[in-house]
Amino acid sequence: MKTVTLASGERLDASMLTREGVLPADITAAAQQIIDAVRAEGDAALRRYCCDFDGVDVACFRMAPEQVDAALDQLDPSFIAALEKAAAQIRDFHEREVEQSWFTTRADGTMLGVKVTPVAAAGIYVPGGRAQYPSTVLMNAIPAKVASVERVVMVTPPQRASEPGACPISPYTLAAAKIGGVDEIYTVGGAQAIAALAYGTESIPRVEKITGPGNAYVAAAKRLVSGDVGIDMVAGPSEVCVLADATAEPAVVAADLMAQAEHDPLAACYLVTCDAQLAADVTRALEVLLPASPREEITRASLDDQGMVVIAPDMEAAVAAVNTIAPEHLELHCADALGLLGSIRNAGAIFVGAWSSEPLGDYVAGPNHTLPTGGTAAFSNPLSVDDFVKRSSVICYTPAGLLADAPATQRMAEAEGLWAHALSAGLRRRALEEGTDAVSTEALAAVDLTAVAWPGDAPETVAAGADATKAGR
């Protein structure tokens, strides 16, 4: 792991990090070609890409319900129990995020508010490359269902059958889909799956929102279809940052760094500390633990190429370094971990105290493990129920409310040179002040419409309307 030692008064600068925030141009171009082909050819393109990329000839993309039900029957009851425990705790956490529509009424009767509506259909992408991720199914499907999304669709790459007639999707993934409430499952992955969800094919109706992690081609495809369909985020490699003081146990810190590093050679692991001896002890612990890992090659590559140790002169500089990194996962292995929580500004998920193992958050704690990466925790949020709903502002004026707000509206429209904006409010105002016949087409034919739109209200008239509005709040 690279070591950066900060001098007294020095702060970690973002330029010291080794992140790559831009998807390579060749991957983006390849993803665009795949999207264009799926839009033009539909299922035929999906079948071709399944053969080319996955080595699987798919006759029917949609999994039959009986195949999904059968997955639960062939799995160990202890795994099913673990899935059900995780699902219950994830559901309980996300139910606390649900926002209700709300309305308020001013004294003049004007009603304002927000109407919350779930998206009609959501597509969740579940990777199927280096490993199987039933936890990803739960983390994406459950908040969608809690949000009352009617149609939750899962896409995941088909696997080569070990024997004729074998199921093309891991039974662990199918069991999670059943428990998580997924409505439809399709055996298609990669950028082609994102294109199918975004635009639809003969077999796969389009959705309104796409969530879930994937490889660089999936990330590029999500970015390319964004705007035609909603997406959660463009996720990069997994990250962890451990902020540790002298009270931390080096072997535990080392294991926690390895827990992220084993995901991918590009996973980023950071250790931030004020204690140089702890940093040395963690490095020594890594050399004891790494040879025992069945994923040693991946884990070591991540730590060697993407890992960083930051030795800060004091805790203030250490916390500042954490906020600069803005990690996906942050662990606080400090004596006063809870006391430090308030100073943490940028992190996707914060694990407070030595007992809060990050893998607990990956699987069963309840908060979502789909988190902002690559420093985007500085301005982004974890996946939540909010990602599966839309908010519509509701504005319902009464005549009294119109009279109170029209003068200020017309004055602001005049300042912006938007005549019809002012006229829209002015006609209603005229109807109330002079009678409904005053805005008939015939009556307006002989009227100076500019005077209706821009009546030149005195400041006190505008202020009176503003005061009336304030009084109604």
Cα torsion at 381, 385, 387, 388 (round to 10°)? 170
The answer to whether residues 16 and 23 touch, using CB atoms and an 8 Å cutoff, is no
Among the listed residues 184, 328, 331, 414, the single catalytic one is: 328
Phi and psi torsions of 456, nearest 5°: 65, 45
Let me know how long the chain is: 473
**Nearest to residue 78, comparing CAs of 175, 168, 156, 170?**
175
CA dihedral for 349, 28, 210, 232, sign (positive or negative) = positive
57 Cβ contact list (under 8 Å, min separation 6): 47, 50, 51
Q: What one-letter code names the amino acid at 333? A: H
Which residues, in sequence order, are CB contacts of 138 under 8 Å at separation 6+? 83, 86, 87, 90, 176, 179, 180
- Residues 358, 255: Cα–Cα separation, whole Å: 10
Burial group, residue 254, by CB count within 10 angstroms (0-12, 13-18, 19+) = buried
Quick check: 167 and 187 in contact, CB under 8 A? Answer: no
3-state secondary structure 377-395: HHCCCCCCHHHHEEEEEEE
Query: Is 94 a catalytic site residue?
Result: no
Cα–Cα distance for residue pair 174/167, rounded to 1 Å: 10
Task: Let me know: does 334 contact 243? Beta carbons within 8 Å.
Answer: yes
329 is catalytic: yes
* Strand (E) or helix (H) holding 111: strand 111-118
Catalytic option among 329, 333, 358, 414? 329
Angle, helices 171-180 vs 77-95, to 10°: value is: 40
In the block, which residue shows the tokens 């204690």?
A: 275
- For residues 333 and 30, the answer to whether their CB atoms sit within 8 Å is no
**Contact, 329 vs 241, CB < 8 A?**
yes
What is the rounded CA–CA span in Å between residue 347 and residue 221?
A: 26
Neighbour-count burial of 222, counting CB atoms closer than 10 A to its CB (0-12 exposed, 13-18 middle, 19+ buried): buried
Angle between helices 250-261 and 296-306 (to 10 degrees): 100
Q: Where are the alpha helices (DSSP H) in 96-159?
A: 134-146
CB-based burial, 175-209: b 16+ in 10 Å, e otherwise: bbbbbbbbbbbbbbbbbbbbbbbbbebebbebbbb
**Residues with a known catalytic role:** 328-329
